[in-house]
Chains A and B, each alone.
Chain A
Amino acid sequence: MSETDAIPEFRKQSKEGGEVSLTNLSGFSSGIGIKSTREVLAIIAVAVIVIGGTELALRVFEVPPYIMPTPSSIFAALIGDFGLILPHLGYTLVELLSGFAIGATIGLILAAVITQFPFAEKIIAPYILLLVTTPMLALVPLLILRFGFGYTPRIIAVALAAGPMVMINAATGFRRVDSAKIALARSYGASTLQIFWKIRAPMALPMILVGLMIGAIFGLLTAVGAEMVGGGFGLGNRLTTYSSMIQMPQFFAVVLILSFLGILIYVIFFLIGKKWASWEA
């Protein structure tokens, strides 16, 4: 065992890995690859300058709040009216989580099954593409007509938006067949089920996580959009309500909460990916 040749070999490999792995998780892991305190300080400094500068400019030029409220008034609204907004955040989360759970589950199962049958996959592919590219928001008026103004149409819309995204990415993952690894499992007499759980599924996991993340973000967009179309609750509904009442600080406070939700989704999947799929990135 010579440590001396092991080390450069390792370096070479890890370097190659860094160059090649532009795919999958590394693509979004680079986004929050912040390491030093210097970088953190610089990011905070930029935020202070931008927010402070906006505040200053809005005050100096006396921009009316219905055109653009000052950052300080937005923060004040966020804190002062948080109690009013909070239930709506809860409604939106319920729609997002249940719709996403339904859509992602169906998407994952379909991806796993369909990739086992290349012929069926070829036939279904254009329809999946249709589902991925159609903005499911367009169906919301119809869904409301059918299901009323409650949770149901929104949850269906979220599921329809998230499911195909999860499915198309997971299918890409399941299609990544490494015949040598499958041969390895087969050489020990592995069953089809064992090959699925011990080779195909872990190999697909990085792409599954990418699909789940994109699906969750699409789900959030669709949930908010559906809330804007109709019904009396949810963050999207707050946006239309506040803007119609020209309560711009509250409006932007809701926008801030939505940005935070989006970032939260990203961070959650980033951390899951780091824990379970770091072998690829």
Chain B
Amino acid sequence: MNAPGAVTPKLRVDGATKVYQTVSGDLLALEDCTMAVQPNEIVSIVGPSGCGKTTLLWSMSGLHGLTAGQVLLDNRPITGPHPDIGIVFQEANLLPWRNLEANIRFPFEIKHQQIDRVWVDHLLNRVGLEGFGKKFPRELSGGMQQRAAIVRALSLKPSVLLMDEPFGALDSFTREEMNRLVEEIWMDTHTTIVFITHSIEEAILLSDRVVVLSPRPGRVARVFDVPFERPRSLEVMASKEVFDLTNAIKEEIVGRRTGITSAEKREPAVAS
């Protein structure tokens, strides 16, 4: 855990606890979860299904209140949705009755602002969606929909981008492509990114640090540093270091639950 204490964290989660009231009783989703995200950092959050990853991210976005604890953006507590935070949702979450152009205009409409043509066109260009403005979401592939969602999330120039398992529904090739796109966008903008994923590979490719949450109730089990240079080449991704890191993270997630140790080594090595 090496949170450089000198810098004010961009985003800090302090003792976050969240209880859901359900029909079958209270459900403790997060318990005393504490973590920090430094400016310009990409942090991935991984963990077993239902460990509260999405709850944590929604709390960071201000969409959810916490039962206890708080989230601080630039040292100020977040009490509701914040204009400085952009969100990329699961499965794109485009509005199906609006074409791509109108979907990207949506945040500006809500804010009663004129669309920032130059910036939006730059983003559309960046993700390769120029000329698709009149298409409706159903006419676009899953990857293209998620590109549009990224453009929408960045359209108001947030300083933090929260991504909630954005590529979980995509096939592995498209996913790889999208990961590279996020990497490129980050090298472009250095936007602070919090990235939730099920894929350890994705987490390592993208992040400076990988936060592993424990099974429910979610707590920070361990934080792994990912010290590789960007852009992370295929060679780096196939290296022994990445392999070992992958196994260590996997052991942290799976091992905790089942007691399986890394000796089992089920992850096949990538041929380099």
A positions within 8 Å CB-CB of B:
1-2, 5-7, 9-10, 13-14, 17, 180-181, 183-190, 194, 198-199, 202-203, 205, 277, 279-280
Q: Is the interface of A mostly helix, strand, loop or mixed?
A: helix
Q: Check A205/B110 contact, CB under 8 A, given A5-B174, A187-B81, A279-B138.
A: no
Question: Interface residue tally of chain B, by bracket?
Answer: 35 or more
Contacts of B107 in A (CB 8 A): 188
CA distance A6 to B178 in the complex (A): 13
Contacts of A277 in B (CB 8 A): 97
Contacts of A190 in B (CB 8 A): 110
- Cβ contact within 8 Å between A184 and B89: yes
- Cβ contact within 8 Å between B173 and A5: yes
- Cβ contact within 8 Å between B63 and A183: yes
Q: Tell me, rounded to whole Å, the shortest Cβ–Cβ distance linking B160 to chain A.
A: 12
Contacts of A180 in B (CB 8 A): 89-90, 93
- The 24 sampled A-B contact pairs (Cβ below 8 Å) are A1-B128, A2-B177, A5-B174, A9-B143, A10-B140, A10-B141, A13-B142, A14-B139, A17-B138, A180-B90, A180-B93, A181-B95, A183-B58, A184-B87, A184-B93, A185-B110, A186-B81, A187-B62, A187-B87, A189-B80, A190-B110, A198-B110, A202-B95, A280-B96
CA distance A203 to B98 in the complex (A): 11
CA distance A277 to B173 in the complex (A): 33
Q: Name the one of A7, A10, A194, A279 contacting B96, with C-beta atoms under 8 angstroms.
A: A279
Across chains A and B, which 5 residue pairs bring their CB atoms closest together, nearest first? A1-B128, A9-B141, A6-B141, A188-B110, A279-B96
- Cβ contact within 8 Å between A189 and B174: no
Contacts of A9 in B (CB 8 A): 141-143, 174
Q: Tell me, rounded to whole Å, the shortest Cβ–Cβ distance linking B54 to chain A.
A: 11
Contacts of A7 in B (CB 8 A): 141
B85 interface residue per 8 A CB criterion: yes
Q: Tell me, rounded to whole Å, the shortest Cβ–Cβ distance linking B253 to chain A.
A: 26
CA distance A198 to B109 in the complex (A): 9
B positions within 8 Å CB-CB of A:
58, 61-63, 80-81, 83, 85, 87, 89-90, 93, 95-97, 106-107, 109-111, 127-129, 136-144, 156, 171, 173-174, 177
Q: Name the one of A6, A199, A205 contacting B144, with C-beta atoms under 8 angstroms.
A: A6
CA distance A1 to B96 in the complex (A): 21
- Cβ contact within 8 Å between B85 and A187: yes
- Cβ contact within 8 Å between B143 and A5: yes
CA distance A107 to B246 in the complex (A): 58
Contacts of A203 in B (CB 8 A): 97
Contacts of A194 in B (CB 8 A): 110
Q: Check A189/B93 contact, CB under 8 A, given A183-B63, A184-B87.
A: no
CA distance A10 to B144 in the complex (A): 10
Q: Tell me, rounded to whole Å, the shortest Cβ–Cβ distance linking B139 to chain A.
A: 6
Contacts of A205 in B (CB 8 A): 97
CA distance A188 to B142 in the complex (A): 23
CA distance A280 to B138 in the complex (A): 9
